[in-house]
Amino acid sequence: MKLYFAPNACSLAPHIVLRELELPFTPVRVNNQTKRTADGRDFLEINPKGYVAALELEDGNVLTEGAAILQYLADLRPEAGLAPANGTLQRTQLQAQLNFIGSELHAGMSPLFSEAIAEPVKALLREKLAKRLGFMERTLSDSGHAFGEGFSIADAYLFTVMGWSEHLRVDLSAFPAIRRHRETIGARRSVIEALRAEAQAPAV
């Protein structure tokens, strides 16, 4: 498998999970401006949507959308318990949480990266985000995990997205459980290795 990634982007979540599950893969850096890949390809031919993450399988199929990629990976090693079995109520509950992280937190934070958006608009976006973070804070206060009692693919996704908070000036001072989550998940070997590999990948 090949994981197309940009350093510290949302592709970090499947990157963490690939390492957590010790699956064989090749990370391929993408330049999100030029859409060129480190192995010399036009990324738009791999994912016409033009964004990471993309996972290219051995048979040439390409998976996109972080939440789908994460579940595909978890299902390759069900014994690791990173997602409940497909078709169960628990799996649907995990999907709800992945959706929440994707559509409320990830998509809620993305516009804050834009220099074209005025500061008063960003302040409104941060206000809305704070309400969503309040929900996540309560979830994490119970078990320390974004879903269920142990590490799951939702933790990899949440860790990735919350990693942008400092740069985007999203204030986490009112959310101690979210800050603790950053520390505990950030201490996992898979996370340390993924962050190191992304930081050391030569620029494209």
Ligand X SMILES: N[C@@H](CCC(=O)N[C@@H](CS)C(=O)NCC(=O)O)C(=O)O
Q: State the Cα–Cα distance between residues 116 and 67, nearest whole angstrom.
A: 28
Closest separation in Å from C-beta 74 to ligand X: 16
Decide if residue 163 touches ligand X (CB under 6 A). no
Q: Which residue lies nearer to ligand X by CB, 14 or 84?
A: 14
Decide if residue 10 touches ligand X (CB under 6 A). yes
Decide if residue 50 touches ligand X (CB under 6 A). yes
Q: Which residue lies nearer to ligand X by CB, 10 or 94?
A: 10
CB of 101 closer than 8 Å to CB of 161: yes
Stretch that binds ligand X, among 15-23, 48-56, 72-80, 182-190 (CB under 6 A): 48-56
The set of residues, in sequence order, having a beta carbon less than 8 Å from that of 95 and lying 6+ positions away, is 67, 71
Tokens at 148, concatenated = 């269920």
Decide if residue 109 touches ligand X (CB under 6 A). no
Torsion of CA 113, 114, 120, 122, to 10 degrees: -30
**Helices assigned H by DSSP within 21-173:** 43-46, 66-76, 89-100, 107-109, 119-143, 153-162
Stretch that binds ligand X, among 16-24, 47-55, 131-139, 146-154 (CB under 6 A): 47-55
Binding flags for ligand X, 83-102, as an x/- string (CB under 6 A): -------------------x
Decide if residue 134 touches ligand X (CB under 6 A). no
Decide if residue 8 touches ligand X (CB under 6 A). no
Q: State the Cα–Cα distance between residues 81 and 187, nearest whole angstrom.
A: 19
**Number of residues counted as binding ligand X (CB under 6 A):** 12
Q: Which residue lies nearer to ligand X by CB, 116 or 187?
A: 116
Decide if residue 32 touches ligand X (CB under 6 A). yes
Could you give the angle at the alpha carbon of 138 between the alpha carbons of 137 and 139, nearest 5°? 90
CA 38 from centre of chain: 21
Decide if residue 9 touches ligand X (CB under 6 A). yes
Q: Which residues bind ligand X (CB under 6 A)?
A: 6, 9-10, 32, 50-53, 65-66, 102, 110
